[in-house]
Structure 1
Amino acid sequence: MTDNTYLNALIGAVTTLLLSFTGISPVLGGAVAGYLEGGETSDGLRVGAISGAMASLPAFGILLLVLFLVPVAPEPGAVIGGGLVALLIIALVFAYTMALSAIGGVIGAYVNREL
């Protein structure tokens, strides 16, 4: 366990990415970060949310790469619509990952405190 919140969040984010095949990887990664952070549930919530934000960065990169590599349609409306859909997807991925990681962080901090 370390006192560095960002290192604990990074370890949780890597755990999220490594366990991405499970479907609940944001909760697991947040739980690892929250356990390492220890302290109160608010500390677990904070480090879990940071972990989720860090774990979302690869998804942002992939979606932005797809957005820029997809051939541009000849109609401006299609380009604007496609861009808005891509931004909506990015926002949903970010919210999903951060929320579940924050829940996991609370669980991890609770387990650390009780064990």
Structure 2
Amino acid sequence: MVPDDTTSTDDIDSADAASQAVGGTASNDFLTPGDDAPADLVDVLLYGLVGGIAGSVLSFVPFATVLGGVIAGYLCGGRTADALKTGTVAGVVMTLPFAAIVFFLLFVLGFAGAPAEFGIIALLVVGVAAAYTLGSGIVGGVLGHYLRGQF
């Protein structure tokens, strides 16, 4: 906004401050106040871990991987890029228990004389499941960031 003769720069600054006090920022109402600063790496890792553990605990619920990402993205705040990172961390944390169990079973069954094709198929299944979980965590992180801006 270009000030004219009737508007002073003090009026413009007070209008920006008033719009920030109401609940939005002067330039963008999508973010809540204070969320336009990038999140720290510690916050990304911490909230990603919290979301990943929550998604793993709620694994009996449909779309728990998305829910874990939503929790992580909502708690972290920051920018959309931070939500992507937090959702990625949550997806990796949710993938680890599944991968550990499958690899343990493969190790045990490998000594039992299982054919090599079984191991190859199992690794393919683990890869597809890991991609699904990781992708769902990322989508959930962005969705959680969006919900944080709305509520």
Residue 139 of structure 2 corresponds to 103
Consecutive unaligned residues in structure 1, runs of 5 or more: none
Residue 40 of structure 1 corresponds to 79
The question of 1:25 aligning with 2:64 is answered yes
Residue 52 of structure 1 corresponds to 91
The question of 1:62 aligning with 2:101 is answered yes
1:7 Cα deviation after fit: 0.6
Deviations 1:2-50 (A, max 9, x none): 8421110000011101110112101100000001111222221221011
Question: For residues 111 and 41 of structure 1, what CA distance do their matches in structure 2 show?
Answer: 12
| Bigger RCO (CA 8 Å, 6+ sep) | 1
Q: TM-score, normalised by structure 1?
A: 0.88
Give aligned-pair identity as a percent: 37
Consecutive unaligned residues in structure 2, runs of 5 or more: 1-38
- For the pair shown, the structure with the greater C-alpha radius of gyration is 2
Q: Name which of 13, 16, 30 aligns with 2:55.
A: 16
Q: How many residues align?
A: 109
Q: TM-score, normalised by structure 2?
A: 0.68
Structure with the higher fraction of residues in helix conformation: 1
Question: For residues 49 and 89 of structure 2, what CA distance do their matches in structure 1 show?
Answer: 8
